[in-house]
Amino acid sequence: MARILDGTAISAAIKEEVAEEVRKLVAQGIKPGLAAVLVGNVAASQIYVRSKVQTCADLGLYSELITPPETVTTEEMLDLVRSLNDRDEIDGILIQLPLPAQVDTKALLDAVDPAKDVDGFHPVNAGRLQAGRPALAPCTPAGVIEILKRSGIPIAGQHAVVVGRSDIVGKPAAMLLLHQNATVTICHSKTRDLGAVTREADILVAAIGRPGFITAEMVKPGATIIDVGINRITDRVEFERYFAGNAKREAAFAKRGSTIVGDVHPQAFELAGAYTPVPGGVGPLTIAMLMANTVRAAKMRRGL
């Protein structure tokens, strides 16, 4: 029986540690602050950002939610970022993506002060991460490492295969695994005979953004599978492809008309030694690591 790596429990433990760090900083007259910028009225983004703001309140951090209109221009957004860069009480700046088409996303992310880049997207932080220097790492890949470490999964000397090469997850996850002394292979849509590579993985990180893409034939028995994918399923035929016979999922699908599946086909988990479920695996770590990054930014900015 494969071991389930409980991201919800690990997230709760990290949040407790962050709250304790915040209490110590507040005792020194420092209250870490996060500014969350949410453009427009995308319902999913609103729910996600408001949960981040609520988590700040729960853990004792200061937070602001800034909501420019859907019609905002690149220059107006750049002015906003510059003002946040200049405010000493703001330690972290979060710009919720995606942005409207008329806004130059790259220019905006590049304008964030790297010392306040709690998403870890700035080229300066990417470079520091590659060089193994102190940096704010992207939250989801940092959460992957925390899951492995806190679950007692060996990383050093293991062959880690990362499927996906995005700047947000795939590349930084590979770099963080390399810094933990794993032997790392990065795969992507153009990799020849992908299954032959993934079957060599002791640690398999699926971050390609395709539902059920990693099948049982692509997994080495006993491997640890980290499923980063979150894909919403609304089609009954597609649901049956992944969850036929799963009474719990069936009931939820019938009630909501949708469910989510990761980048790994559920049948593949039967071969694993350990795996992160979807939901309840990597997802909960993202907000926890954002909180940890905000506290880290507050300390680094003050030389603590």
Provide the pLDDT confidence category of residue 60 given band limits of 50, 70 and 90. very high
Q: In the beta sheet, which residues pair with residue 162?
A: 186, 205
52 among known catalytic residues: yes
| Interval 115-129: pLDDT, tens | 999 999 999 999 999
Strands 3-4 vs 274-275: parallel, antiparallel or unpaired: parallel
Which residue's structure tokens are 């963080």?
Answer: 176
Provide the pLDDT confidence category of residue 47 given band limits of 50, 70 and 90. confident
Gap between the Cα atoms of 197 and 34, Å rounded? 41
Nearest to 95, CA basis, from 13, 135, 78: 78
171 among known catalytic residues: no
Strand ranges (E), 167-222:
183-187, 203-206
Terminal alpha carbon distance of the chain: 45
- 186 close to 171: Cβ distance less than 8 angstroms: yes
Question: Which candidate in 91, 96, 113, 117 is catalytic?
Answer: 96
Q: Which pTM does this prediction carry?
A: 0.94
Question: Which candidate in 91, 113, 117, 119 is catalytic?
Answer: 119
| Interval 86-112: pLDDT, tens | 999 999 999 999 899 999 999 999 999
What are the chain's domains? Answer: 29-113 (3.40.50.10860), 139-285 (3.40.50.720)
- 137 close to 120: Cβ distance less than 8 angstroms: yes
Gap between the Cα atoms of 15 and 60, Å rounded? 11
Where is average pLDDT lowest: 34-43, 72-81, 105-114, 207-216? Answer: 34-43
119 among known catalytic residues: yes
The residues near 124 (Cβ < 8 Å, ≥ 6 apart) are 114, 117
Question: Which candidate in 15, 52, 171, 220 is catalytic?
Answer: 52
